[in-house]
Amino acid sequence: MLDNQASPRVFRYRLLLAPAFLFACCAITWVRGGAQPNEGPERTKTGIDVLEEQHFAALRRKRVGLITNQTGVDAKGRRTIDVLAHAEGVKLVAVFSPEHGVAGKVEDTGVVNSLDSTTGLPIYSLYGETRRPTQQMLANVDALVFDIQDAGVRFYTYITTMGYAMEEAAKRHIGVFVLDRPNPLGGEVIEGPMLDQDRLSFVGYFPMPVRYAMTIGELAQMFNAENKIGADLHIIAMDDWHRSEIFADTGLKWIPPSPNLRTLDETFLYPGIEPLQAGGVSVGRGTIKAFEFVGAPWLEPSAEFAGELEGRQLPGVRFFAAGIIPLGGPYAGQMCHGAFVFVTDPAIFRSARLGIELADALHRMFPAKFDLDKTIFLFGSRSTIQRIKRNDKPANIIADWAPDLEKFHVMRQKYLLYH
């Protein structure tokens, strides 16, 4: 489990752990059945597959601009770029890339404009000098198509890229077509603090909780109506996806949407662990355990920290003391002590609760080292941070999210496409 997904680059980091921990890792893998998202026949048909079945009727006689990355592929593994470039009656004229680039290999730096080596089409970056498609980029576009696998998390920037593109398309009366894909975290669990109204940004396009349990197509409908964008919006819905399904249930191949979300375990942990990095801890970037570790050079003794977390008995997750040398993020190249985090049961695991419990533990145990205030950048809730600082119990903080989450639940019902 520790190295079966490693790349040559990954073997450059050090991992220090006891034999008992190794045994625990193996035991967890066995209990979970060694679950892999690619087992079984493909069943869910994504928007691009449905569009192909419809012989591209929605895009006939249109000049198309495509917002996509490496996750934009059909059931045969063909890039949506190539599928649309060869679709009869469709003229693909431009490609637009989000954060991490069209191939998904760029780390946390800007993406530059380029050319697609296969089609020769221009690739315009929406994560560089501009984060919105400009008049020049859209000059020859009649239809703007969006096909990207989302992570199901409020602060993941692909949904903001979609929102900005919808706004610019609406100004120019350009139709928007979203090729829908599953929410990898499922379509039922809503959790986390609501984003404060005054904290809208590129990592917070819309006031909603950290986990919103909607597909990218459903989000597009909500953004369009609630933000009064007025886009000529069309959703190419999936076939055979149900709200109770996480990505592992779809039969689809998991393609990492960004360099550090290589596995579904990482994707489930990401909503709770990523906000902590701003507070001054490593989350394992650059290793095979990105978002499955929390630590720092000053976080000692790690056994006490892991024991504190285990003692909280959070459902569906376990903690083990360990140390690593991360290759990216804070403390890159330095030994970090802390805890590995393992999801044992995604059905009962709650990532936002994990994030609040971790923030609380770090604040209580290392108040002079962990900068809780900076975690608001992604947690997005001033009241939540203030209550952690007052040492309110995490269970009480989480319980008090309920009224706002219920309001969001009722509002989102209008835009759901699947049962």
Closest CA to 362 of 290, 287, 272: 272
Residue with tokens 């490593």: 282
**pLDDT category, 7, cuts 50, 70, 90?**
very low
- Where are the alpha helices (H) located in 207-301, listed in sequence order? 216-226, 264-273
The crossing angle, in degrees rounded to 10, of helices 264-273 and 351-365 is 50
- 10-34+260-380, CATH topology level: Aspartate Aminotransferase, domain 1 (3.90.1150)
Would you state the pLDDT for residue 24?
Answer: 38
Closest CA to 47 of 264, 216, 293: 216
Q: How many CB atoms lie within 10 A of CB 240?
A: 12
Give every CB contact of residue 272 below 8 A, 6+ residues apart in sequence.
210, 351, 352, 353, 354, 355, 356, 358
- Is 1's pLDDT higher than 50? no
pLDDT per position as a tens digit, 351-403: 999 999 999 999 999 999 999 999 999 999 999 999 999 999 999 999 999 99
- Per DSSP bridges, beta strands 90-97 and 62-68 are parallel
pTM of the full structure: 0.90
Closest CA to 159 of 204, 192, 191: 204
**Cα–chain-centroid distance for residue 326?**
21
pLDDT per position as a tens digit, 238-275: 999 999 999 999 999 999 999 999 999 999 999 999 99
Mean pLDDT, to the nearest integer, of 227-234? 98
Would you state the pLDDT for residue 42?
Answer: 57
Distance separating alpha carbons of residues 343 and 345, to the nearest angstrom: 6
Of all residues in the chain, what percent carry a pLDDT higher than 70? 90
Would you state the pLDDT for residue 52?
Answer: 98
DSSP H or E run through 296: strand 293-296
- Is 26's pLDDT higher than 80? no
Mean pLDDT, to the nearest integer, of 43-62? 98
Distance separating alpha carbons of residues 323 and 5, to the nearest angstrom: 19
* Tokens encoding 146: 């969006």
Contact 272, 352 (CB under 8 A): yes
Would you state the pLDDT for residue 18?
Answer: 37
Closest CA to 130 of 111, 103, 154: 111
Burial of 393: CB neighbours in 10 Å, binned 0-12, 13-18, 19+ = exposed
| CATH number corresponding to 47-254 | 3.40.50.12170
pLDDT per position as a tens digit, 105-161: 998 789 999 999 999 999 999 999 999 999 999 999 999 999 999 999 999 999 999
Would you state the pLDDT for residue 336?
Answer: 97
Q: Where are the domains of the chain?
A: 10-34+260-380, 47-254
pLDDT per position as a tens digit, 293-343: 999 999 999 999 999 999 999 999 999 999 999 988 999 999 999 999 999
**pLDDT category, 30, cuts 50, 70, 90?**
very low
Of all residues in the chain, what percent carry a pLDDT higher than 90? 87
For residue 235, what are the β-bridge partners?
A: 178
Contact 405, 353 (CB under 8 A): no
Phi, psi of 184 (to 5 degrees): -65, -25
Would you state the pLDDT for residue 369?
Answer: 97
